[in-house]
Structures are given as C-alpha cells and as structure tokens.
Amino acid sequence: MPTVVIVGAQWGDEGKGKVVDFLTEKADVVARYQGGHNAGHTVVIGGEKFVLHLVPSGIFRQGKLCIIGGGTVVDPYCLIEEIEGIKANGIDVSGRLLLSKGAHLIMPYHMAIEQANEGAKKIGTTGRGIGPAYVDKASRSGLRVGDLLYPALFRERLQTNLRHITALLKAVYGVAPEGLSPDEIYEGYMRCAGTLGQYIADTDIVVNEAIDAGKNVLFEGAQGALLDIDHGTYPYVTSSSASAGGACTGLGVGPTKIDRVLGVVKAYTTRVGGGPFPTELRGPLGETLRERGGEYGATTGRPRRCGWLDFVGLRHSVRVNGFTGLAITKLDILDGIEEIKVCTAYRYKGELMTEFPKEAAVLEAVEPVYETIEGWQEGTTGLKDFEALPPSARRYIRTIAEMLGVPVHLISTGADRGSLIMLDGQFG
C-alpha cells in the first residue's frame, strides 16, 4: 500500500473516516488534502464514537503521522478545540500532527459573509465560512497559516481585509457586522498561533520525503466527488477539489506519485444540503434508511436526504477520479429491504441519458431509470467474510463492481472498526 488517495464517490458522508482508520494500520502518514471543518469523519472504536472535522482519522492509530495539507481551510479555534478533544481521549498528538503553512485561515468575517450570502443562494452550506475562505484564496487576499508567524504583516493584511469586507457587507447586504474588531481578531489569532505553532510545517516537503523514502502514505479526501467545485453538481458543491486530483494540488504531490485511488461508495446514496438528487426517496423508505443509517450530519446534525444507488453519478465519479478500487460501506443498512433499486440511466425529456449532466437544472429534471435487485432478509452487521453474506448481498456487491468496472476491495458491514470484509487481500 504505497500511496493511496481515498475519495468519497458520492455527495460525502460515505464513511471515509472508518476506511481511513482501517487503512491507517498499514500506513505511516495520513494527509488530508482539502476542505475544512465542514467535514465530519466518524470513527467507532470499541463501541465509542469519535467525530473528527479536520484532523485525519489516522490520529487514532498510535505512531502515525497526520498532516493537514495546504489545500485545506482552517478555523484555528475549531482546530484547537478538536485537538483538545482528541487529547482528552488519552491520545497523544505531539510530534504526530502537522499543519501546512499554506492552508488558508477561516476568519470571523468569512462566517459573516456566508451568513449574509447564503440566504440568496440556498446551497445549504454548513455555515462554517468555508466558501468565503476559498473565495479569498482565489482572489489572493486570503491569510494563511504561515502568515500567523509574521504578526506585523498579518495585522496589516487583516486590517485591509476587514475594511473591504465591512464595506461590502454594508453596501451589498445592508448588514452592519458585529464582533469584527480588528484588534480582537488579531489578538485571538495570535493566541491561536501560540498554541498551533508547534504543528506548523512545510508539509509538502514532509509528504514528498515520506513518499521518496518508500513509506505508505494515505491521502484523505473530505466531502465527495459530486461536491467537487469542478466536477460536482455546481453550484450545489463545496468550494474545494474533493476529487482525487485535489490530493496533488492540496498536498504538493505530483500525479506520478499516486499509486492507487480508492473510491468509497455508500451502498445507497445520501446528500445533505440543497441541490439535485435524482434517486432521492422522499417517502417512508427514505426515512427508514435515514434512521437505520443514522443519516444525520456529523458536523451540523442536519438530516441527510437518502435514496438509491445512482450508477450514472457513480460512473462520472469513477471517470473523474480514476478509481482503482472501491470500498462499499453501510451494506448492513440495506438488510431486510425486500427489493433494492439501482439507477442505471436517466430519462430527460423522453430521451434516455446515460451520462451525468453538467447542468444542475438538467439533473434536477431527470427521472431515474431503475433496475430492481432482490434484497436479503438476513442480518449482515459485523460480518467479516464475503462468503458469509447472503447470496443477494453478494450479488449486489458484484453488480456494483460490474456496473462501474472497478473491483471492490473492502466492504463495511457496521460502524465498528472490525466490521469489515476484505475481498482480495489488497489492503490486508
């Protein structure tokens, strides 16, 4: 397992945290490449649930180096709180966690802009200032983690940004922002710098040195490929490159150094926030999946929209990520459902459509074309052996591999660390 990128193949919440946690056993370094604390990665260890937002889930395995890469956006207060929470669970992070100098800082004014803006856009964001922080990055006015090490410059640029943003909020949104005192923000961020200073590093050097030394490196994506700023259901997307390519830009690693790309596919589909979702189940079956799958946002607690597996969206995901293997998660949530549907194409204005449309308005208007697969009545929770799965569950897994043309390496059969089937020993 030399270098592997782990990507959510759908709209996030596929259960990447557990897959990363499992693979970390064999890894030396785990590096997160994009997103911010909009993500929520849940890991269940010995029945206890841990939710991480920014720190890679590899932190739960002793001796592994965890990196928050330059492609991420970081709210320093939230990161400190997360680190404190990890330490409070008896996990030693010292010398095991690095934060890239190139990661952009989420500032209090990003939250203010997002609140003002979201009313008009209805994206259903997590409200954490993620989008506006990436806007500043692209407009070259962002403040980065490395800037915390140069207080005078930091203060000056903060003041410039605040002047601009206060004027914008007033003129465009008619909002007089509160709590945006330059001195208070500056002092608060400098206090954070004092705490986080020990973690700040040139992480691109560290990651590349690890790869060159032949170490096993995992690249952890957040959200999912269908929320990718370029390849997702724009504008209903997050503001970063959640798909596999983001690992290269977000960590400063050349594409030639990536060996494998593992797509994490939930056995059904969920989406949180606004945007098109052709296979959404709006009735009782959707509710059943939500309740059984615990489909509530790990970050915001919002109920997730639930639906059938969508091979049109997944084929697009396979293409833009170049998956070399799949991990299927939450298979056990489908236990006891008599008939399972899978979407193989869409119908749009009477025509059959087999490719994922680029326009959200088209995706909003398509009708899913389903095939029905026989379900299984037996419980699969906690199974560790493929042959122990009911025949229909095995057929379901094979259908996924065949429809996507990608081998399935892992199947998750429950929240706990051990509830996992390894199919071909690739990651054993």
Residue closer to ligand IMP by CB (options 100, 126) is: 126
231 flagged as catalytic: no
Which of these is catalytic: 37, 41, 104, 316?
A: 41
- Which run of H or E residues covers position 353? strand 351-353
Contact 22/6 with Cβ under 8 angstroms?
Answer: no
DSSP string, 92-130: --TTTEEEETTSEEP-HHHHHHHHHHHHHH-----SSSH
Instruction: Kindly indicate which of the ranges 65-73, 103-111, 117-125, 195-203 contains the residues binding ligand IMP, using the contact rule CB under 6 A.
Output: 117-125
Listed residue (284, 258, 268, 221) closest to 71, CA to CA: 221
Minimum CB separation of residue 38 from ligand IMP in Å reads 4
CB of 15 to ligand IMP, least distance (A): 11
Among 126, 321, 413, 419, binds ligand IMP (CB under 6 A): 126
Q: Least distance from C-beta 239 to ligand IMP, angstroms?
A: 6
Binding region for ligand IMP (CB under 6 A) out of 34-42, 103-111, 283-291, 360-368: 34-42
Q: Print the binding letters for residues 268-307 with ligand IMP: x by CB under 6 A, - otherwise.
A: ----xxx---------------------------------
Report the alpha-carbon distance of residue 14 to residue 127 in Å, rounded.
21
Report if residue 223 touches ligand IMP, rule: CB under 6 A: yes
Question: Could you tell me the smallest distance in angstroms from the CB atom of residue 418 to ligand IMP?
Answer: 25
- 267 near ligand IMP (CB under 6 A): no
Pairing of strands 309-310, 97-100: unpaired
Question: Which residues have C-beta within 8 Å of that of residue 293, sequence separation ≥ 6?
Answer: 268, 270, 306, 330, 333
Number of residues that bind ligand IMP (CB under 6 A): 22
Shortest Å, Cβ 202 to ligand IMP: 27
Name the minimum Å distance from CB 329 to ligand IMP. Answer: 14
Angle at which helices 76-88 and 182-196 cross, to 10° = 40
Shortest CA distance to 97 belongs to which of 58, 136, 146, 144? 58
We find the least distance from the C-beta atom of residue 259 to ligand IMP, in angstroms, to be: 25
The answer to whether the CB of 292 falls within 8 A of the CB of 267 is no
238 binds ligand IMP (CB under 6 A): yes
CB of residue 183 vs ligand IMP: minimum separation in angstroms? 28
Quote the CA–CA distance of 135 and 156 in Å, as a whole number.
20
Among 26, 117, 124, 319, binds ligand IMP (CB under 6 A): 124
CB closer to ligand IMP, 274 vs 375: 274
Closer residue to ligand IMP (CB): 39 or 169? 39
Map tokens 């700023």 to a residue: 229
Binding to ligand IMP, residues 36-55 (CB under 6 A) = 38-40
Cβ atoms within 10 A of the Cβ of 369, count? 16
41 is an active site residue: yes
Ramachandran angles phi, psi of 189, nearest 5° = -70, -30
Return the closest-CA partner of residue 38 out of 111, 135, 100.
111
123 binds ligand IMP, rule: CB under 6 A: yes
Minimum CB distance to ligand IMP smaller for 53 or for 341: 53
**Which residue of the set 13, 28, 136, 228 is catalytic?**
13
239 near ligand IMP, rule: CB under 6 A: yes
Task: Classify each residue of 234-263 as buried b or exposed e, where b means 16 or more C-beta atoms within 10 Å of its C-beta.
Answer: eebbbbbbbbbbbbbbbbbbeeebbebbbb
**Lookup: tokens for 186:** 């500056």
Measure Cα distances from 415 to 29, 185, 262 in Å: 23, 40, 19
- Give yes or no for residue 72 binding ligand IMP (CB under 6 A): no
Using Cβ positions, the residue closest to ligand IMP within the complex turns out to be: 273
Instruction: Establish if 341 lies at the interface with ligand IMP (CB under 6 A).
Output: no
Q: What is the CA radius of gyration of the chain?
A: 21
Piece of the chain touching ligand IMP by CB under 6 A; list 11-19, 156-164, 261-269, 384-392? 11-19
Q: Catalytic positions, please?
A: 13, 41
Residues that bind ligand IMP (CB under 6 A): 11-13, 38-40, 123-126, 128, 130-131, 222-223, 227, 236, 238-239, 272-274
